[in-house]
Structure 1
Amino acid sequence: MGISAIMGIAVSGMQAQPTRLSATANNVANALTPGYDRTVTTFSTRPTGGVSASVSTSGEDTLPDSSNVDLASEMLDAIGAELSFKANASVFETGADMWDVLMSIKRD
């Protein structure tokens, strides 16, 4: 696997995290909406490498006078999205640094 492929996988991971964070923000905003069914983010691998994110409702039961949103798990999802984005950004930066080294070797 080449450096550019690894960087592409990292980019797909970074692109998936805003979808996850958006779903989490939507859940927090609707936590007090009666009958609201929380949304969940599902990640799937791409055949060419990387991930894609999709959002759907959880399908869990809700009470008519409340939602099924747990604010603690939503905060954990938000923190998880942040950490995942940072990890993928770090991989991308490392790949960019490796390209710089290879280009400086080629010039010399």
Structure 2
Amino acid sequence: MSISGIAGTALSGMRAQTTRISAIASNVANSSAPGHTRLNTNLTSAASGGVEAIVSPTASDVDLATELTDLIEAEQSYKANAVVFETGADMWEMLMSIKRD
């Protein structure tokens, strides 16, 4: 995989986790609203590499403990993708400095 491919995959992961966190925020904000159905985020492999987030309503009620657990998981996943992205950027910078010399 190329350095730009690594960065692209990590970026898609960060975008997917951002979408997931938005769905969690909506669930928490509307947990006591009558008629609100929980939003669930499914992560799928993208054809071009990386991951896509698909948000869909479910028939279940919002459980704040589940939402908190999902939020922690999304945060850790976002951080892991950010580290991969930064490592790819560092590799790209090193490659460019070698090329200039």
Shorter-chain TM band? over 0.9
Q: 1:81 aligns with which of 70, 74, 91?
A: 74
- Name the counterpart of 2:10: 10
Q: Equivalent residues in 2 for 1:20-99 (5 A)?
A: 20-60=20-60, 68-99=61-92
* The structure with more helix, counted as a fraction of residues: 2
Runs (4+) of structure 1 moved beyond 6 Å?
A: none
Unaligned residue ranges in structure 1 (runs of 5+): 61-67
Question: Match of 1:40, as an amino acid?
Answer: N
Using the alignment, how far apart are the partners of 2:21 and 2:49 within structure 1?
22
Q: CA-to-partner distance for each residue in 1:17-45, whole Å, 9 max, x for gaps?
A: 11101110111111112342211001111
Question: Match of 2:9, as an amino acid?
Answer: I
Using the alignment, how far apart are the partners of 2:35 and 2:15 within structure 1?
30
Using the alignment, how far apart are the partners of 1:31 and 1:59 within structure 2?
13
- Name the counterpart of 1:64: none
SS, match of residue 43 in structure 1: strand
Q: CA-to-partner distance for each residue in 1:35-76, whole Å, 9 max, x for gaps?
A: 42211001111111011111111133xxxxxxx111011011
Aligned-pair identity in percent equals: 59
For this pair of structures, how many residues does the alignment match?
Answer: 101
Question: Match of 2:64, as an amino acid?
Answer: L
Structure-2-length-normalised TM-score: 0.93
Q: CA-to-partner distance for each residue in 1:53-107, whole Å, 9 max, x for gaps?
A: 11111133xxxxxxx1110110111111111111111000000000111111111
- Name the counterpart of 1:63: none
Structure-1-length-normalised TM-score: 0.88
Unaligned residue ranges in structure 2 (runs of 5+): none
Question: Match of 1:100, as an amino acid?
Answer: E
Question: Match of 1:52, as an amino acid?
Answer: E
